[in-house]
Amino acid sequence: MPYLQSNIPYFKAWVRREYTHNHEKYHGEFLHAMVIAVTSMPNRSLSFQVIFTGCEAEDEAEDTVHGGAMWARMPLTALVADIPLAEWPTPMATHDAQPWDCASHHHAVYVMDRATPCPWMAKIDGQFFPAKYLFTVDYTDSEIADDPAQHKQSHVLQLLDAGEWTGNIVALPNNRVRVTHPAWFSLGEGAPDFRPSQHIHYSKSDLDYTLDVNRVFDNLYNEDDTDEKQKTDT
């Protein structure tokens, strides 16, 4: 299980330049980058390892100084998808971009293949917006991450056709997204009738089973079964 940082399916993005200068200047400017890894720290939003490409300076007379430079733990809200945009998206509040912080240093990164080609719907501030799925971060080995009632995944998405937020990158849990695909299933309307489970399921939760040695060791090499079968055959 990775601790702190993991490789991700890399994607190209624009970085809000003020994040590279302590938010003191460069607001409204952007640097092009490849996003290559994710960092998970408890009680913080996801952050990312980026390599700046210098592509933003292709039309400039002088070469960029940023190409090849790296930055660790670039916050989620600093990233804008490298997609055609009519205008740069409005910055999002952290609680809109990732409503639940990372629950642990221990995490897994994976791509849910079956859900990858599907258009997703992301619920943000009471509204649904179409989104493109990139990958998922899941957490474990902490009180919150391993509590069935509190566990949250972070699905990393690019917002599409989201008005002033189009192009922003977000990380949302299951209760803020819907996966759509009319050829595979019908899209529900309204809130699902769900309630978080308060239960942990494991084989030794039944005391009668745990104390019954014959049932616990009821396997292929159980001699009692063999003896009983021989008696039946004779």
Q: pLDDT tens digits for 150-202?
A: 899 999 999 999 999 999 999 999 999 999 888 888 778 888 878 878 888 87
pLDDT at residue 223 tops 80: no
Query: Within this chain, do residues 170 and 207 fall inside the same structural domain, yes or no?
Result: no
Query: Within this chain, do residues 19 and 58 fall inside the same structural domain, yes or no?
Result: yes
Rounded-to-integer distance, Cα 200 and Cα 69, Å: 46
Query: Within this chain, do residues 168 and 218 fall inside the same structural domain, yes or no?
Result: no
Per-residue pLDDT at 215: 75
Q: What is the pLDDT of residues 95-112, one digit of tens each?
A: 999 999 999 999 999 999
Helix (H, G, I), strand (E, B) or coil at 134: strand
Per-residue pLDDT at 214: 76
Query: Within this chain, do residues 93 and 136 fall inside the same structural domain, yes or no?
Result: yes
Per-residue pLDDT at 151: 92
Q: Is 85 within a domain?
A: yes
Q: Is 104 within a domain?
A: yes
- Confidence class for position 227, pLDDT limits 50, 70, 90: low
- Confidence class for position 61, pLDDT limits 50, 70, 90: low
Rounded-to-integer distance, Cα 129 and Cα 84, Å: 17
pTM reported for the whole predicted model: 0.86
Query: Within this chain, do residues 38 and 75 fall inside the same structural domain, yes or no?
Result: yes
Query: Within this chain, do residues 114 and 38 fall inside the same structural domain, yes or no?
Result: yes
Query: Within this chain, do residues 156 and 211 fall inside the same structural domain, yes or no?
Result: no
Percent of the chain with pLDDT over 70: 91
Q: Is 19 within a domain?
A: yes
Per-residue pLDDT at 222: 62
Q: Is 193 within a domain?
A: no
Range of the domain at 215: 203-233
User: Number of folded domains in the chain?
Assistant: 2
| 125 against 230, higher pLDDT | 125
**Average pLDDT of every residue of the chain:** 89
Average pLDDT over residues 127-145: 95
Query: Within this chain, do residues 223 and 156 fall inside the same structural domain, yes or no?
Result: no
Backbone φ, ψ for residue 165 (5° rounding): -100, 0
Query: Within this chain, do residues 209 and 128 fall inside the same structural domain, yes or no?
Result: no
Q: Is 78 within a domain?
A: yes
Query: Within this chain, do residues 148 and 219 fall inside the same structural domain, yes or no?
Result: no
Q: What is the 3-state secondary structure (H, E, C) of 75-86?
A: EHHHEEECCCCC
Rounded-to-integer distance, Cα 48 and Cα 98, Å: 14
Query: Within this chain, do residues 104 and 160 fall inside the same structural domain, yes or no?
Result: yes
Per-residue pLDDT at 99: 96
Q: Is 29 within a domain?
A: yes
Query: Within this chain, do residues 170 and 218 fall inside the same structural domain, yes or no?
Result: no
